Chains A and B, each alone.
Chain A
Amino acid sequence: MFKEFRALNDITFQVRRGDVFGLVGTNGSGKSTMLKIIAGVLEPSSGTCTVRGSIAPLIELGAGFDPELTARENIYLNGSLLGYSRDFIDSHFDEIVDFAELRDFLDMPLKNYSSGMVARIAFSIATATEPDLLIVDETLSVGDFLFQQKCEERIQSLIDDSHVTVMLVSHDTSQVERMCDRCAWIEKGHLRMVGPADEVCSAYRSLGD
């Protein structure tokens, strides 16, 4: 029925506990597919992917948000989908709201929020817990620069204090270099390079020269 298309082909890499691992590549190269497989949303048609530990997938912020519901209601809904218990959300509710800086709009339906405001709420719910593995897909690019900084700080503190493993997909190579130790470059479904973040990023950048 469909013409077969391999989004990812023969890719092998390892991410160690506590690593901050970057993933770069041009559009349509399979970065998000990779993350979906890691998050367990997609099954690989061949090969294996082993994850040891819990995952906070930020594959797309605010999955399960309902535009008709208020922010308060959405925090509980989204939290439940991320596997939080009611007690956990109750006790972290203020923390989540304060981090998003949206206390004044808590009882407004989400459809009246700007996309940046939605991203704020979503990011603060998703990082309310300390996962073993945090997957971040382009999510930081939505908010304003202040919030982007705040998110980066939050991720950095998860890395430094809780030794969370992070996988970061970004088109911002300077951000990848700044935050990541190691990095993989995927191009058209093939692995081009794995290694220290600065080396991979500079090789990737040279693609444009």
Chain B
Amino acid sequence: MTARSQARTPDSGQVRRSTLFILQQLVTRDFKLKYRRSILGVVWSVLNPLLMMCVLTLVFTNMFRFPIENYPVYLILGMVLFNLMSDATGGAMGSIIQNAPLIKKVRIQKAVFPIEKVCFSVVNFGLSLIAVAIVMIFFRCAPTVSLVALPLLLLYVIMFSVGIGLALSALSVFFRDVMHLWDVLIMAWNYLTPIFWPQDLSAFLTGISNQWIAHALVIVEKFNPMYHYVVYFRDICMYATIPGLRENIICLGFALVSLAIGVIIFRKTQHKFILYI
């Protein structure tokens, strides 16, 4: 009976509830499929960032040295947050194409698919925070009250990722090239974000001989949303500071711009998806 009245008068509350139920079901599916037939199962979500951090720490404390205190903590914080964004956007990108059979057969809000992938990445991010906690305890790097700003940061990064994810998922329907290009872009972005190198550029830049590159890097970082998000994350987790209003506005601004662009692109193109998938 519920289904009946719902379609007749698409009362927004009911539609929202049923969309939430779809989201939840799809995330559950992805979660189950990800860990099916692996012995350690969900433990991998914690173990994976830990092992990655070990490898990178080995590389960057022996081969290249950076004057950073608690380097493993510094590294895993940057890595985990960047992975949230890259997993979310990468997953969302292929979501429309992957769900083509469904989109062709059921009338459904198409934005559900990219958003679901972002939700799934957030769940994984939550699990990898356990790894972060383990590393922080190990290095006696106690968190402080400043951690209360974490939901705020999470909100920014989710909005930012949803925006990019929506845009990528729509564009990749028409140009599959986007999928190949994005892998390269994410890698470049990864290197341009202070994940394993010092986020304090002034200390870092003296080591760079080419002045032009140094200047370019400063400008690039100003406009690199991930730079701001990663620095924000470390501020609240490691350095016991809550970023000020200015920094919050910058972070929110990037999120809103990304979200707006994503929504516009998706809305303009979604009715044509079915002809291309």
A73-B29 in contact given A63-B106, A81-B106, A130-B1 (Cβ < 8 Å):
yes
- B7–A55 CB distance below 8 A: yes
A174–chain B nearest beta-carbon distance, Å:
27
B23's closest neighbor in chain A, by CB?
A80
Partner of B104, one of A41, A66, A85, A131: A41
Which of the listed residues A36, A83, A85 has the most CB atoms from chain B within 10 Å of its own CB? A83
Q: How large is the interface on B (under 10, 10 to 19, 20 to 34, 35 or more residues)?
A: 20 to 34
- A39–B3 CB distance below 8 A: no
A162's closest neighbor in chain B, by CB?
B4
Q: Does B102 contact A (CB under 8 A)?
A: yes
Number of cross-chain contacts by CB at 8 Å: 96
- B274–A85 CB distance below 8 A: no
Q: Does B246 contact A (CB under 8 A)?
A: no
**B residues 102-140 touching A (CB-CB < 8 Å):** 102-108
Q: Does A112 contact B (CB under 8 A)?
A: no
**A residues 95-154 touching B (CB-CB < 8 Å):** 129-132
**A60 contact set on B, CB distance < 8 A:** 105
- B8–A132 CB distance below 8 A: yes
Q: Does A86 contact B (CB under 8 A)?
A: yes
A85-B17 in contact given A41-B104, A54-B7, A131-B3 (Cβ < 8 Å):
yes
B174–chain A nearest beta-carbon distance, Å:
11
B24's closest neighbor in chain A, by CB?
A80
- A82–B25 CB distance below 8 A: no
Interface residues of B (CB under 8 A from A): 1-8, 17-18, 21-22, 24-26, 28-29, 32-33, 36, 101-108, 271, 274
Extra contacts besides A54-B7, A69-B29 (8): CB < 8 Å: A41-B104, A41-B107, A54-B4, A64-B105, A83-B6, A85-B3, A85-B21, A88-B1
